[in-house]
Amino acid sequence: MSEENKRDDDNTIENKSPEAQAPAEAAAAEAADQQEADAAKEQANEEKQQEQAAAEPVADSAQTEAEDVAAKPEAQSAEAPAAATPPTVEDAAPAPAPERRKETDEEKAARRKATLEAREAAKVAAALAAAEAAKGGASAGAASAQPVAGDTQATPAAPASAAPAAGESDASAPAPERRKETDEEKAARRKAALEAREAAKAAAAQAAAQGGAPATAAGGDGSPGGDAPPPKPPSPSQPRLDRVAAMLRELVAEDAVEEAYINEANDHLPTLVIKNDRWEQAARLFCDHAELGCKYLRNVSGVDYETHMEVVYYPWNMNAREGYCVKVRTDRDNPSVASATPIWETANWNEREIYDLLGVDFPGHPDLRRIMMPDDWVGHPLRKDYVPLDPEV
């Protein structure tokens, strides 16, 4: 294009009228306004979305609080019946046991003294009852031995009719007070018991020695009982018994052996009864003598015979496998036997047990004290006259 034409075009544009230029400017302004409106609308939408996003957690928390507030009355209403229900006996706590007052030494001494007095009274009552029973039996026997003529028919009915009256009198009348047995009566009773025991032993030995003599006499007329049984063979342990009895009489004392016999029921065990004051020497002989050689003591036991006490020792020869039974008797009121613990250590706890349960004293024991019962226990539980301090124990 030539420069002249360009100048003509420029002049044409510059020479346009304002009316021709107005519609174009209005359209441009309208487009700019529309853009600004759209931008403002988008900004408003973004702000609204931000406000909604911020408001959602607050609404959730408010809803949770509202639900908690609504649930509290329901929980309280559910707990109210349980709280109003009275506690059962099982739920109630047990009442504490009342504390027992500790007994003083004076009260202990008084209680023990009362128990001992009651025990002595029981002994006296038992002795009187036995004496009265013996008298009653003797008088009844004498009366029955002499019946009166004409009373034979009425006699059988008399006990039946008299029985209720006797029962009524026993129930109403108080028990008679029993007289305390004197020392002389005790000694006489014990002596009589020993004599009866010795007589029974002598009778048994005599019957064994005689064998079938009574049967022979009864059957002398040719009856089947006329054949006498063969004599009993001697015990295989009899030579050992005779030998040890002779050694004790020779090496200890002539009166050291009170009895000597064979206990056939216990495998023909040689058994000796040693005098009390000779026991310590006899024990040393059993242990130290080369022929006896009883270095081991198998067992020690105590027995209450009511008339006297007895301590039984069982020395044993380990090499020959032979043993003996040795019995030592002692007074019941003040029982005492020399301790064998210095000779056989195995006697230690056995003698303590006999001391604890039977009350036998063992002079020479290195540690004589109770082994089963407490130190403050009253009495000795295996004695025949033992009365417990507390019947419930």
User: Is residue 155 predicted with pLDDT exceeding 60?
Assistant: no
Whether 311 is covered by a domain: the verdict is: yes
What does 49-117 look like in DSSP terms, one character per residue? HHHHHHHHHHHHHHHHHHHHHHHHHHHHHHHHHHHHSPPPTTTSPPPPPPPPPPPPHHHHHHHHHHHHH
The answer to whether residue 328 is domain-embedded is yes
- According to the model, what pLDDT value does residue 72 have? 54
User: How confident is the model over 45-98, as pLDDT tens digits?
Assistant: 777 777 776 655 545 555 555 555 555 555 455 444 444 455 554 455 556 666
Query: What is the extent of the structural domain holding 298?
Result: 237-335
Q: Is residue 283 part of a domain?
A: yes
Specify the pLDDT at position 138: 54
| Closest residue by Cα to residue 313 from 326, 296, 302, 328 | 326
Instruction: Tell whether 4 is covered by a domain.
Output: no
At 119 the pLDDT is: 79
- Asked if the model's pLDDT at residue 248 lies above 90, the reply is yes
Q: What is the pLDDT of residue 239?
A: 95
Is residue 270 a part of any domain in this protein? yes
Structure letter (DSSP) for residue 336: B
Please give the pLDDT value at position 124: 80
**Of the ranges 205-214, 357-366, 380-389, which one carries the lowest mean pLDDT score?**
205-214
Q: Are 324 and 294 in contact (CB under 8 A)?
A: yes
Let me know if residue 322 belongs to a domain: yes
Does residue 391 form part of some domain?
no
Is 0.85 topped by the overall pTM?
no
The model's pLDDT over 256-280, given as tens digits with 9 standing for 90+, comes to: 999 999 999 999 999 999 999 999 9
**Res 219: pLDDT:** 46
Q: Name the domain count of the chain.
A: 1
Contact 286, 292 (CB under 8 A): yes
User: Which candidate, 349, 341, 345, 346, places its Cα nearest to that of 365?
Assistant: 341
Average pLDDT, the chain: 75
pLDDT of res. 191: 78
Domain of residue 325, CATH code: 3.30.460.80
Summarised one tens digit per residue, pLDDT across range 95-146 is 666 666 777 877 777 777 877 787 788 788 887 887 777 776 555 554 444 4
User: What residues are paired with 329 via a beta bridge?
Assistant: 310
The verdict on residue 310 lying in a domain is yes
More confident residue, 297 or 158: 297
As a whole number of angstroms, the distance between CA 151 and CA 341 comes to: 70
